[in-house]
Amino acid sequence: MKALLGGKGAGLAEMTRAGLPVPPGFTITTEACREYFAAGGVLAPDLLAEVDAAIADLEARTGKRFGDPANPLLVSVRSGAPISMPGMMDTILNLGLNDAVADGLARLTGDARFAYDAYRRFIQMFANVVLGLEHARFEAIIEDEKRRRGVETDPELPAEAWQAVIREFLALVEKETKRPFPTEPREQLVLAIRAVFDSWNNLRAIVYRKLHKIPDTLGTAVNVQMMVFGNMGDTSGTGVAFTRNPSTGENVLYGEFLLNAQGEDVVAGIRTPQPIAALREVMPEVYAEFERIARRLEAHYRDMQDIEFTIEKGKLYLLQTRNGKRTARAAVKIAVDMVKEGLIDEREALRRITPEMIDQLLHRRIDPNAPRTVLARGLPASPGAATGIVVFDADEAEARGKRGEAVILVRPETTPDDIHGLAVAQGVITSRGGMTSHAAVVARGMGKPAIVGAEGLKIDLEAETFRAGDVVVKKGDVISMDGATGEILLGAVALVEPEPDPEFETLLGWADRFRRLGVRANADTPEDAARARAFGAQGIGLCRTEHMFMAADRLPAVREMILAETPEERAAALEKIRPMQEEDFYGIFKAMAPYPVTVRLLDPPLHEFLPKYEELLLEVDRLARDPQADPARLQEKQAFLRKVRALKEENPMLGLRGCRLGILYPEVYAMQAEAIFRAAFRLRQEGVPANVEIMIPLVGHANELARLREVVDAAYRKVAEAFGAEMPYLVGTMIEVPRAALTADEIGRVADFFSFGTNDLTQTTLGVSRDDAEGKFLHVYVEEKILPDNPFVTLDTGGVGKLVEMGLRLGREANERLKVGVCGEHGGDARSIRFFHGAGLDYVSASPYRVPLARLAAAQAAI
Ligand code: ADP
Ligand code: MG
Ligand code: MG
Domain count, the chain: 5
> Which of 74, 129, 308 is the pocket-test mutation for ligand 1 (most atoms within 8 Å of CB)?
308
Dihedral over Cα of 784, 789, 790, 791: its sign? negative
Q: If you take atom 12 of ligand 1, which residue's CA is the nearest one?
A: 263
Largest Cα separation within the chain, whole Å, is 108
Segment 119-124 shows an average pLDDT of: 95
More confident residue, 203 or 283: 283
Q: If you take atom 9 of ligand 1, which residue's CA is the nearest one?
A: 91
For residue range 381-393, list pLDDT tens digits in order: 777 889 999 999 9
More confident residue, 499 or 367: 367
- Number of H helices and number of E strands within the chain? 36, 32
Q: If you take atom 17 of ligand 1, which residue's CA is the nearest one?
A: 263
Please check whether residues 205 and 275 belong to one and the same domain.
Answer: no
Residue 647 has what pLDDT?
A: 85
pLDDT at 263 over 80: no
Work out the pLDDT band at 435, boundaries 50, 70, 90. low
CA 223 to CA 28: how far, in whole Å? 6
Q: Is residue 357 part of a domain?
A: no
In percent, the amount of the chain with pLDDT more than 70 equals: 97
Please check whether residues 715 and 579 belong to one and the same domain.
Answer: yes
438 noted as active-site residue: yes
Q: If you take atom 1 of ligand 1, which residue's CA is the nearest one?
A: 87
Q: Is residue 74 part of a domain?
A: yes
Please check whether residues 374 and 440 belong to one and the same domain.
Answer: yes
CA of residue 227 to ligand 1 center, whole Å: 9
CA 667 to CA 651: how far, in whole Å? 25
Angle, helices 45-62 vs 30-38, to 10°: value is 150
pLDDT at 440 over 80: no
Which of the following is catalytic: 363, 420, 438, 607?
438
Q: Is residue 340 part of a domain?
A: no
CA 836 to CA 862: how far, in whole Å? 11
Q: With a 6 A CB cut-off, is 607 part of the ligand 1 pocket?
A: no
Is residue 67 within 8 A of residue 185, CB to CB? The reply is yes
Q: Is residue 16 part of a domain?
A: yes
Residue 496 has what pLDDT?
A: 81
Question: Which CATH number covers residue 858?
Answer: 3.20.20.60
Segment 296-316 shows an average pLDDT of: 94
**H/E run at residue 739:** helix 738-742
168 marked among binding-site residues:
no
Residue 339 has what pLDDT?
A: 98
Q: If you take atom 3 of ligand 1, which residue's CA is the nearest one?
A: 87
Average per-residue pLDDT for the chain? 92
Q: What angle do CA 388, 390, 391 make, to 5 degrees?
A: 125
Residue 78 has what pLDDT?
A: 95
Residue 256 has what pLDDT?
A: 83
Pick from 417-426, 728-737, 749-758: least confident? 417-426
Question: Which CATH number covers residue 263?
Answer: 3.30.470.20
Which ligand 1 atom sits nearest the alpha carbon of residue 266? Answer: 14
Please check whether residues 60 and 125 belong to one and the same domain.
Answer: yes
Q: Is residue 173 part of a domain?
A: yes
For residue range 697-712, list pLDDT tens digits in order: 999 999 999 999 999 9
Please check whether residues 64 and 174 belong to one and the same domain.
Answer: yes
Please check whether residues 621 and 671 belong to one and the same domain.
Answer: no
Peptide bond before residue 611 is cis, with ω within 30 degrees of 0: no
CA of residue 242 to ligand 2 center, whole Å: 13
CA of residue 187 to ligand 1 center, whole Å: 21
Please check whether residues 8 and 75 belong to one and the same domain.
Answer: yes
Domain finish residue from 496, 528, 559: 496
pLDDT at 363 over 80: no
Q: Is residue 742 part of a domain?
A: yes
For residue range 583-632, list pLDDT tens digits in order: 999 999 999 999 999 999 999 988 888 888 888 899 899 988 988 888 88
More confident residue, 500 or 302: 302
Residue 612 has what pLDDT?
A: 84
CA of residue 223 to ligand 2 center, whole Å: 11
Question: Which CATH number covers residue 102?
Answer: 3.30.1490.20
758 marked among binding-site residues:
yes
Work out the pLDDT band at 268, boundaries 50, 70, 90. low
Please check whether residues 701 and 773 belong to one and the same domain.
Answer: yes
762 marked among binding-site residues:
no
Please check whether residues 377 and 491 belong to one and the same domain.
Answer: yes
Query: What domain range includes position 110?
Result: 2-226
Which ligand 1 atom sits nearest the alpha carbon of residue 25? Answer: 23
DSSP state of 657: -
Q: With a 6 A CB cut-off, is 250 part of the ligand 1 pocket?
A: no
| Residue 659 phi, psi dihedral angles, 5° rounding | -65, -20
Please check whether residues 436 and 574 belong to one and the same domain.
Answer: no
pLDDT at 277 over 90: no
Residue 266 has what pLDDT?
A: 63
CA of residue 308 to ligand 2 center, whole Å: 7
Question: Which CATH number covers residue 374?
Answer: 3.50.30.10
CA 452 to CA 470: how far, in whole Å? 21
* Proximal ligand: closest to the CA of 736: 3
Q: With a 6 A CB cut-off, is 76 part of the ligand 1 pocket?
A: yes
More confident residue, 216 or 495: 216
Domain finish residue from 462, 496, 530: 496
Pick from 13-17, 466-470, 564-568, 585-589: least confident? 564-568
Is residue 793 within 8 A of residue 436, CB to CB? The reply is yes
pLDDT at 500 over 80: no
Residue 436 has what pLDDT?
A: 56
Work out the pLDDT band at 547, boundaries 50, 70, 90. confident
Domain finish residue from 592, 622, 648: 648
CB-count burial class (<10 Å; 0-12, 13-18, 19+) for 745: middle
Residue 745 has what pLDDT?
A: 98
Tell me how crowded residue 794 is: count the other CB atoms within 10 A of its CB. Answer: 17
Please check whether residues 820 and 840 belong to one and the same domain.
Answer: yes
Q: Is residue 25 part of a domain?
A: yes
Please check whether residues 484 and 538 belong to one and the same domain.
Answer: no
Q: With a 6 A CB cut-off, is 755 part of the ligand 1 pocket?
A: no
For residue range 195-212, list pLDDT tens digits in order: 999 999 987 788 778 767
pLDDT at 133 over 60: yes
Distance of CA 276 to the CA centre of its chain: 32
Segment 750-765 shows an average pLDDT of: 97
Q: Is residue 439 part of a domain?
A: yes
Q: With a 6 A CB cut-off, is 236 part of the ligand 1 pocket?
A: no
